[in-house]
Amino acid sequence: MSNILVTGGAGYIGSHACKVLKAAGYTPVTYDNLSTGWEEAVKFGPFEKGDLNDRARLDQIFAAYQPEAIVHFAALSQVGESIREPGLYWHNNVSGSLTLFQAAVQAGCLNVVFSSTCATYGDQDNVVLDEDCAQNPINAYGASKRAIEDILRDFETAHGMRHVIFRYFNVAGADPEAEVGEFHQPETHLVPLLLDVVDGRRDALTIFGTDYDTPDGTCIRDYVHVMDLVDAHVLGVKWLEEGKASRVFNLGTGTGFSVREVIDQSAAVTNRDVPVVEGPRRPGDSTKLVSGSSRAEAELGWQPRRSTMKQMIADAWRWHQSGHYGK
């Protein structure tokens, strides 16, 4: 059974990825500093605490487990914070990834599946985004992810490090069996914030910006179910196992939902009202981000089977009611 090093495996997406990697016959080895993840989420393989910038610790992990591939999730990911504190993002995301890849090269682990983001495209209004669109990030989060993509390309040229890059759109939902789910401190993602309001943990949901150039004035995002997303990562590992060339894939559904539409869907699924207040736009938020790519479906055979808004909210609501980490 092959070991896969999963950086950030104690986080929201990483913990779900560990579950599907285990089901696919791999042993996911979580490497996480627990700055935003939860040790309780590590249920499907070994846990090793460590930081991306700790080269000596990384060398120990590579020597101990000799992973076949890296699935690299670990990153800071709050857009607003990245605008206020860009140095954090360049140090943690870029410097940390560089240290990880250098350790991997020395250990002979040359297959990487990388968690990138549609934020690398920036704000391209009225453009349905595919992998060939220009990358013009408007915040340090997106810029840091683009820089890591560049590092991977340089490392392939110099060291033969092949990679699959996934540029995500918005991720939502939870494990249907509620073994793992979405929980952040502080919480910044729309669906769990909505469910906190529905559940009485918050008084109201703040809509940040109602004057966008969209039909209802709120920004539009393409949402993909977390289980569909992590299924793509297993396909990415297999892609590299088969010796295929490095490739970039968008992961989205091609369907956009405004903030108000997500609120309406949440109310319909939970049969509870969602009190809202209107606030100003947040710096760094794009008007509309929607995938126009079918490359992942055509080449990887990926299908976003659970990525309806109703299913994403229903699965997240099940997890929400089952309990949270950190309580």
Please check the confidence at residue 183 and state whether its pLDDT lies above 70: yes
- Across the range 54-63, mean pLDDT stands at 98
| Structure tokens, 98 | 């560089």
Q: Tell which wins on pLDDT, 320 or 63.
A: 63
Q: How far apart are CA 294 and CA 302, in angstroms?
A: 9
Q: Where in the chain is the domain with CATH 3.40.50.720?
A: 3-172+223-251
Burial zone of 301 (CB within 10 Å; 0-12 exposed, 13-18 middle, 19+ buried)? exposed
Give the pLDDT band of residue 289 (cuts 50, 70, 90).
confident
Pairing of strands 256-258, 220-225: antiparallel
Give the residue among 45, 41, 54, 50 at the shortest CA–CA distance from 25. Answer: 45
Alpha carbon dihedral 109, 90, 21, 34, in 10-degree steps, equals: 110
Q: How far apart are CA 259 and CA 255, in angstroms?
A: 13
Give the pLDDT band of residue 105 (cuts 50, 70, 90).
very high
CATH topology assigned to domain 190-221+254-322:
UDP-galactose 4-epimerase; domain 1 (3.90.25)
- pLDDT value, residue 325: 59
Q: How far apart are CA 296 and CA 164, in angstroms?
A: 11
Active site residues: 141
Q: How far apart are CA 146 and CA 117, in angstroms?
A: 8
Give one DSSP letter per residue of 204-260, joined into a string.
-EEEE-S-SSSTTSS-EEEEEEHHHHHHHHHHHHHHHHTTPPPEEEEE--S-EEEHH
Three-state DSSP at 276 gives strand
Query: How do residues 262-278 score in pLDDT, each as one tens digit?
Result: 999 999 999 998 899 99
Residue listed under structure tokens 């008007």: 287
Query: How do residues 110-125 score in pLDDT, each as one tens digit?
Result: 999 999 999 999 877 6
* Ordered alpha helix ranges (H), the chain: 12-23, 55-65, 79-84, 86-89, 96-107, 140-159, 190-198, 226-241, 259-270, 295, 309-322
Please check the confidence at residue 240 and state whether its pLDDT lies above 60: yes
CATH number of the 3-172+223-251 domain: 3.40.50.720
Amino acid, single-letter form, for residue 282 = R
Q: Where in the chain is the domain with CATH 3.90.25.10?
A: 190-221+254-322
Q: Tell which wins on pLDDT, 324 or 273.
A: 273
b/e map 199-235, b = 16+ CB within 10 Å: eeeeeebebbbbebebeeebbbbbbbbbbbbbbbbbb
- pLDDT value, residue 53: 97
Q: What is the mean pLDDT of the chain?
A: 93
Residue listed under structure tokens 């947040």: 282
- Residues 6+ away with beta carbon under 8 Å from 150: none
Q: Give this prediction's pTM.
A: 0.93
